[in-house]
Amino acid sequence: MDLEDAGSRAKFMIRDRDGKLPELFDAILADSGIRVVLSGVRMPRMNSIMERWMKTCRHELLDRTLTLRVSVGAG
């Protein structure tokens, strides 16, 4: 299931100013209609707060997700 399947779209991507993500990545997102917002300069707390928020979201969502074991090659 994608966001589009649920009738939703991502509008923004907030990322830090690290050079790991090339400008091509930003261009691809722009073509998809997603606006890239860079974090502030010299704001390490902003990054740590967002990482903590993402960890909380992952735990909250994954703790409530039922996973089934699917055997590969089972016939």
C-alpha 58/C-alpha 50 separation (Å) is 12
pLDDT < 50 positions in the chain: 1
Write out pLDDT tens, residues 9-23.
788 888 877 778 778
User: pTM score > 0.85 for this model?
Assistant: no
Instruction: Write down the domain spans for the chain.
Output: 1-55
What per-residue confidence (pLDDT) applies to 69? 67
Which residues are paired to 35 by β-bridges? 12
Selection from 13, 15, 17, 12 nearest residue 42 by Cα: 17
What per-residue confidence (pLDDT) applies to 35? 92
